[in-house]
């Protein structure tokens, strides 16, 4: 009979990265690299570019690990935020969003779906507790990379309502995950 494996501690890994432990960074990459690639690919639509963004994200995770603050959110969330921001910044700089081509879709078939980015069974359960429109707002904001105004237009809902839904939904998720 073997002992159960200890769960991976992302916060500790980031602390180790801040102290220069390259194996901690490798552990983070092995656990989250594929998911971060799925996020970047979904946003920029080009595999090579998405790979560059993930590379840049891990450089930033390595160099800024000491700035991670567990009071502001989870370590995994922090890593996904870095990746998402880099992808969105690229899109803004180049003012283009491309549809995924067949090659990109074939590559994604071997990786976890982008929805897996939002998580474990625990967060999935928390998301299911949200009203479907509010859950859709979060998906549009965090997986599709849409701005609040774009979400409001897509859902034909006032901008203030979309902003309030996202803010309250994130608060509800934080409480549920608590």
Kindly list the structural domains of the chain, giving each domain's residue range(s) and its CATH number in brackets, ordered by start.
Answer: 7-118 (1.10.1740.10), 120-178 (1.10.10.10)
Residue 132 pLDDT grade (very low, low, confident, very high; cuts 50, 70, 90)? confident
Out of 26-40, 69-83, 132-146, least confident range: 132-146
| CA–CA distance, 87 with 20 (Å, rounded to integer) | 26
Contact 117/39 with Cβ under 8 angstroms?
Answer: yes
Segment 119-140 shows an average pLDDT of 78
Residue 65: is its pLDDT beyond 80? Answer: yes
pTM flag (> 0.85)? no
Contact 92/138 with Cβ under 8 angstroms?
Answer: no
Tokens of 12: 């500790």
Of 143, 176, 174, 175, residue with least CA distance to 73: 174
Position 97 scores a pLDDT of 41
Residue 109 pLDDT grade (very low, low, confident, very high; cuts 50, 70, 90)? very low
Alpha helices for 45-113 (secondary structure H): 47-64, 75-94, 102-109
Residue 2 pLDDT grade (very low, low, confident, very high; cuts 50, 70, 90)? low
Residue 142: is its pLDDT beyond 90? Answer: no
| CA–CA distance, 162 with 160 (Å, rounded to integer) | 5
DSSP secondary structure string, 21-51? -HHHHHHHHHHHHHHHHHHHHHHH--HHHHH
Measured at the CA of 74, the angle between CA 144 and CA 13, to 5 degrees, comes to 115
| CA–CA distance, 15 with 178 (Å, rounded to integer) | 21
Chain-wide mean pLDDT for the chain?
Answer: 80
Residue 148: is its pLDDT beyond 90? Answer: no
Position 49 scores a pLDDT of 92
Position 6 scores a pLDDT of 64
């Amino acid at each position: 009979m073997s002992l159960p494996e200890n769960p991976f501690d992302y916060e500790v890994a980031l602390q180790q990265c801040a102290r220069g432990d390259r194996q901690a960074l490798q552990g983070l990459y092995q656990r989250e690299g594929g998911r971060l690639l799925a996020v970047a690919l979904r946003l920029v639509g080009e595999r090579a570019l998405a790979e560059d963004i993930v590379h840049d994200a891990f450089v930033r995770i390595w160099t800024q690990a000491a700035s991670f603050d567990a009071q502001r959110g989870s370590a995994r969330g922090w890593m996904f935020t870095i990746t998402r921001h880099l992808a969105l910044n690229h899109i803004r700089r180049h003012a283009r969003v491309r549809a995924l081509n067949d090659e990109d879709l074939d590559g994604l078939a071997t990786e976890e779906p982008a929805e897996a980015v939002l998580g474990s069974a625990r967060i999935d359960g928390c998301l299911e507790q949200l009203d479907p429109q509010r859950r859709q707002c979060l998906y549009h904001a965090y997986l599709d990379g849409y701005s609040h105004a774009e979400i409001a237009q897509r859902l034909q809902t006032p901008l203030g309502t979309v902003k309030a839904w996202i803010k309250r939904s994130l608060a509800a998720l934080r409480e549920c995950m608590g």
